[in-house]
Amino acid sequence: MDRRIKIEQAHAYFKARRYPSSKSDILKHLQCSVPTFKRIIKTLREEHGAPLIYQRESNGYLYTNAKFELDAPGFWLNPHTLLALLGMQKLLVQLRLDFLNQPLSLLGKQIEQCLRKHHFNPQHLDRIRILPINARIHDPNQFQQITAAVLQRQCLTITYYARGKDETTRRTVSPQRLAHYKDNWYLDAWCHLRQEMRIFALDGLREVVPDNSPCIDIDQPTLDALLASGYGIFSGNAKHTAVLRFSARRARWVATEQWHPQQISTWLDDGRYQLHIPYADARELLMDIQRHLPEVEIVAPPALKQALVAHLQQAIAIHQTT
């Protein structure tokens, strides 16, 4: 019989008795072996904090508090698992996923009660922090609509503002995936207007409306080929490979970073560190390279090096004083 049912039976048995019960009586009622009986007693005491004592003088087991109740079904987990679940709930708060956090708030309170029985202080989880420094604000209600559309395979009609073009358009899309990247959320979707895959930043969505158009599904390998081969958030097949060479000092940090799933790294004899990185669009790659200046050199391709030089010259021209 299911372990949980046995625990419930034992709990009900002890609650119904005002006087100690012998081991033989308990074994007969639960119809279990002695090892199972020992496991039940241990589980009630250690995992559920049951006030179950053994009275030597009467050679029996007894609840000292008849009002004691078991944890809610589903919370029969060890303290470390409960702590992990509560930690995830706390992270949702810090990631500002209100649409998930609100329904789970009751769950969090129940888990906290269970943890206190095991002498854990849930308040100490506040010592774990996520700092979404570059996170852009988006509408949590829209997030919930988009999540439902992704999971239910439902089209959406969206009004989208593209900052780069300073342009607002209205279009129907077939949602494929939601991606959390560098503290921001993006929707990978098939655009019915452009007839190709596009990536939409959620903070650029001005309106989201469910649409009854047939949803176009794209298989996962194709999505990976379209969206994961380029560098960063930009989609498209990687057409170029950047070769970056970092100083020996900077290599202490860069060697532990993953810039691209298909990157190739090499340690040079003089302690420098070299990366080969595929990319389709250089914009985000250039931003990441500039974080490491002057301790990184673009070895190839020449066009990427020229683009960096042009950016730096523009910046110098703006900041240089005569």
What's the pLDDT tens digit per position in 258-286?
A: 898 889 999 999 999 999 999 988 999 99
Q: How far apart are the first and last CA of the chain?
A: 86
Q: Which of 87-96, 149-158, 301-310 has the lowest mean pLDDT?
A: 87-96
What angle, 0 to 180 degrees and rounded to 10, lies between the N-to-C axes of helices 140-152 and 98-117?
90
DSSP symbols for 4-59: HHHHHHHHHHHHT-SS-B-HHHHHHHHT--HHHHHHHHHHHHHTT---EEEETTTT
Mean pLDDT of the chain: 84
Mean pLDDT calculated for residue range 12-36: 90
Contact present, 188 and 197 (Cβ < 8 Å):
yes
Q: Is the pLDDT of residue 50 over 70?
A: yes
Give the global pTM: 0.62
pLDDT at position 1 is: 45
Contact present, 271 and 233 (Cβ < 8 Å):
no
Let me know if domain 3-63 sits in CATH 1.10.10.
yes
What Å distances lie between residue 192 and 54, 90, 170, 172, 174, CA to CA?
71, 38, 11, 6, 7
3-63 and 140-218 in the same fold: no
Sequence letter at residue 297? E
**Chain-centre distance of CA 154, in angstroms?**
23
Query: Per DSSP, which regions of the chain are E strands?
Result: 52-55, 60-63, 155-162, 167-181, 184-191, 196-201, 205-211, 240-246, 264-267, 273-279, 296-300
**Percent of the chain residues past pLDDT 90, beyond the cut:** 43
Residue ranges of domains in the chain: 3-63, 79-127, 140-218, 240-319
Q: Which of 131-140, 149-158, 221-230 has the lowest mean pLDDT?
A: 131-140
Contacts for 106-109 with beta carbons within 8 Å, 24 or more apart? none
DSSP assigned state of 259: S
pLDDT at position 304 is: 96
For 140-218, CATH gives: 2.30.30.100
What's the pLDDT tens digit per position in 302-314?
A: 999 999 999 999 9
